[in-house]
Amino acid sequence: MKYLCLVYLSAEKWSACPDSACAAYAGKLKDSGQLLDGTPLHPVHTATTVRVRNGQTTVTDGPFAETKEALAGFYLIDARDLNEAIQIASKIPPAKYGSIEVRPTRELVVDQDEVARYAAAAAP
């Protein structure tokens, strides 16, 4: 099963964990076939939030919400179950400085005819 491990850090701890520690752990997970994807993010002040309401798009500099910790990156992993995902997440190096949210992913359940209609409507 696929799990998304979301890495959250406060602004004060953003650079506390060396990239080399994250790369080493990611390499270990990749070698075992458990890492499907992952990447760090730039600090929250580089974020742009996009909203569409009543057909109007608004763009705001910064994150969606003010919080103590912000999304710093993610690891998309393959684990047998939640227990194994938690074991993997507990070893993600930034867990020592912030928190790791573990969430199962899901497949989209769609009607292919409906997908085709949306695709046609979105075409330029």
pTM: 0.85
What pLDDT was estimated at residue 19? 96
Q: Is the pLDDT of residue 65 over 80?
A: no
Q: What is the mean pLDDT of residues 11-17?
A: 93
What pLDDT was estimated at residue 61? 86
Q: Which residue, 73, 75, 69, 105, is CA-closest to 87? A: 75
83 and 5 Cβ atoms separated by less than 8 Å: no
Q: Is the pLDDT of residue 64 over 70?
A: no
Domains for the chain: give ranges and CATH numbers.
Answer: 2-122 (3.30.70.1060)
What pLDDT was estimated at residue 118? 87
Q: Is the pLDDT of residue 109 over 90?
A: no
The H or E element spanning position 10 is strand 2-10
